Structure 1
Amino acid sequence: MFSDRYEITERIGIGGMAEVYKAQDQALRRVVAVKVMLPQYAADKEFTERFRLEAAAAAQLSSPYIVNIYDWGQDSGTYYIVMEYVRGIDLKSAIQQRGAINQRKVAEIGSQVCQALSVAHGQDIVHRDIKPQNIMVQPDGNVKVMDFGIARAKNSVKARTSNVLGTAHYISPEQAQGKELTGTSDIYSLGCVLYEAATGHLPFDGEEAVNVALKQVQEPPVPPSQVNPNIDADLEGIILKAMEKNPFNRFQTAQEMKRALDDYLRGRAVNLGAGAATTTIMGNNAQTQVMGANDYGYNNFAGGTEVMTPIEGTSKTAVRDFRVDDSAQKKNRSRRIAVGITTAVLLAVIAAIAAWALFFNQDDGLAKVPELSDLTQAQAEAAIEKAGFELGDVEEVYDADTVAGHVCGQDPEAGTEAEKGTKINITLSLGVEKGQIPNLKGLSADEAQDAIEKAGFVAKFGGNENSDDVEQDKVCRQDPEPGTEADAGTTITYWISSGVESVSVPDVRGYPERDAIATLEGAGFVVESQAGDYSEAYDEGTVMSQSPNGGKLEKGETVTIYISQGVDPSTLSKDVPDVSGMSESAAISALNNYGFQNVSSEYRNSTEVPEGNVIGQNVYSATADSQIVIYVSIGPAASTPDDGGNNGNNGNNGDNGGNNGGNGDNGGNSETPNTDDQNTNPNENLSTDPNL
């Protein structure tokens, strides 16, 4: 794990100064490629600076044909670059597996690489290491140029050092000599790549890299058509112009080379400009060595004739020096005349030999198998019969490089000799393979990547998003939809669930119950409503409390609300009905019905209210839990009978007692007769109390 973010999963390549790994970006949840500097170079400041410059240079470039650079850093002394993970195969591996590639495909690859170089050169960046290993062919057939590991801005100091960087089989002559480079150096390297792709062979090879580099400087390439006779003359002309030894005779810009390739692909006339200068080969005694910029170089140009002379002050055999003088021109003119005569004689001999062979072998029954690539079945059959052969088996395979219904393979191969009448088997293209988009919902990111790749498609991580029905870290959405049919190599984008969205819980206290439910459900919650308590703060029928109150919840969770019953009626005063005159039971029942449950009775004498009926009550306004007392009549009080006048007075009710009655302090009813001599007349001492 680098920087607590990039988790290494497997190694996918190794180069001269770094290894490349497949990794998972934990922050953005996508597959990336991580280029890690080899440990032996980590302490080398020049290499670490080159590593940093690679990231800086490539990060400036934006093109569909250039691998994107995402990040750069170092962790515990290990330097790394994070870049786009490109699925597919590098062009070198493709050539090794298939040999020569279909020439139209070669031109398409060249056009796309030119587009990438045009972007880089437009920012004064020279790649310096264009080779098939650095060109990735994706499943959809498009390419991406990668590895700007030795890229340098043209005006940088390091661009003018004498260090020779790059791969010997593809470096330009000026790069082999350590000269200052321009975009035409990349064009030369691309010419070497296209040469190899079109022929299946390197333009220059040798046992050691230094020998190959010297050939880049000294020797012209063998024309591609002599290696692969099926190459079109226009494509061959483009390749050879790109590989001119003199930078000024090449395409001057990548865009110019792209136009030539596009013209070839569209069947238009290819304009290669003025004739290229002839490359002069150094003598056989040239030293085998890659030269630095301070050793020698192109001194000047004159007359277009190249004469190899040592540069003054050096002991090494010089590469090309374009200085000429009159005597050199005369010698070269004589040499060209002699070469022309010799060539004419050789051509005449070759023609005679060919005519002789044709005459004496015309009936040997052998014929060359025709080139059938890109022909329809009918066209191929006509060509086979015209050449004296018969159509054999016809098979069909998916081939993204060939239009459906056209020939993408044949047996025997084109250009081989076979007896006339031999059956020629052909393979027709079904075009781009179709496949059904897999259902990724509920899969992890790794599972989704594997499912997409196994189905023949290209995976792309779209990002994270909330989902109500898919758990976190699983695929919740994809494009295109599952079950649809698409071409192999189609990009399928998938999104990973961040789980259910968490939202703030609205505060609905004080809302009427219906409004509170609508508000909470609108926010995505399930609502449970329960009866609350009495409340003086919240009106009856409104929300008095909720759980939870505030904070965040995932959508779909439950919020409980409690509905106020209003003010507690037991705390409110209200009128107490007048139950006077009612029977005791009727009065108690009436008061209970009015909400007064705490009713008690007191009994009193009354001459006006019949016994058992209510005389009155203690209150006429009270709270529901107040005690209500009703006074119930027990009828008039009973009187005391006369016993011979001795009693004098049987006073009752002390307030109105007679003068001589037995009257206590309170004038109450005395049961003891008063024997005072002065109060012996009972008629004079009767109490005036009306109840007596």
Structure 2
Amino acid sequence: PPMNPDDPNYGGYDDRPDRRRQKKNNTSTILLVVAAVLVLVGAILIGKWAFSGNNAADDKVAVPTFVGEKLDTAKNMATNSDLKLNPTEKTCENQPKGNICSQDPEPGTDVDKQSTINVVVSTGAPKVTVPSVIGDQFDDAKTRLEGDEFELVVKKKEKESTEETGSVLDQTPVFGKEVEKGTTITLTVAVEVQKSTVPDVAGKTCDEAKALMTSSNLTGNCVTDTETDDENLVDKVITTDPGIGNSVDKGSTVTIHIGKAKENQQVQVPQDIQGKKLNDVRNTLQGLGLQVQVQGSQDGNATVVTSNPQPGSTVNKGDTITLFTTDQGGGNNNGGTNFFGGTTGTVARTEA
């Protein structure tokens, strides 16, 4: 008969429900522990992989562009990028002496830090003799100089000129000089001269006129050399050269003529007036700009005996000359006590 489970000697299978539940709980716990361990190991592996990947990216650097740089400059660039340079020398047509003309790896390539970049340093390009392009049109000169024969670099410089617009006025280096291919040659090219209009400065002072000239891109030069009878124009602009309203080259110098008071002009009383008729002498003196006063006969046919100031004297224009006359008969209006004697004399009259 089956043994009583409560019997101390019972050692067989225990199939009671509480025993089965206990075994099931133990299995679940073990599975949970194993799952937790697997998750932890996975996290560690993923973190290690990600960390390793970032480190790998940090160890890379893009290769800079060394071509066209001087070797010293390239070395500084390499140091700043955690790279090293291995330079060699070679003749290069496209780079002047001392410049890097090629590199390996190419610019932009990702390489490990502290990698060595091979660069070729130019020992100089082949030399060519500079031709003359003065007088040529710029476009033609540029095409020729940059072509396969010379392979120069053309730089343009403009200058106002009366020469044909676009023509080459000058070049540097000059004709006949030997230079390396790739050398820069500067061409000075003619451009149309810009014009300015001489402003209206009549009646202005010198300073006012010069200021107006400056505002018109001109240079004013005052010269006080124009006599004027108008006192309002003394120290004022009378005229300009070139004249007001003329079109001139920008930057030109305009002469500004300033008015000055007329100086007293001097003339000489003619030496040969004695013995001549009054009318003839009077006309001569008035033609010299002198005033005439007659002492003696007023007859136009009267004879001039002398004058005051005397003949040959130097006087100012506008001065009065007194003429002493006598009749042809030798008397003077019935005598008098005047210059020629006589009892009455003739009153002197001034004529202009």
Sort the TM-score into its range (normalised by shorter chain).
0.3 to 0.5
Normalised TM-score (structure 2): 0.39
Report the structure, 1 or 2, having the larger strand content.
Answer: 2
RCO higher in 1 or 2 (8 Å CA, sep ≥ 6)? 2
Normalised TM-score (structure 1): 0.23
Name the larger-Rg structure.
2
Report the structure, 1 or 2, having the larger helix content.
Answer: 1
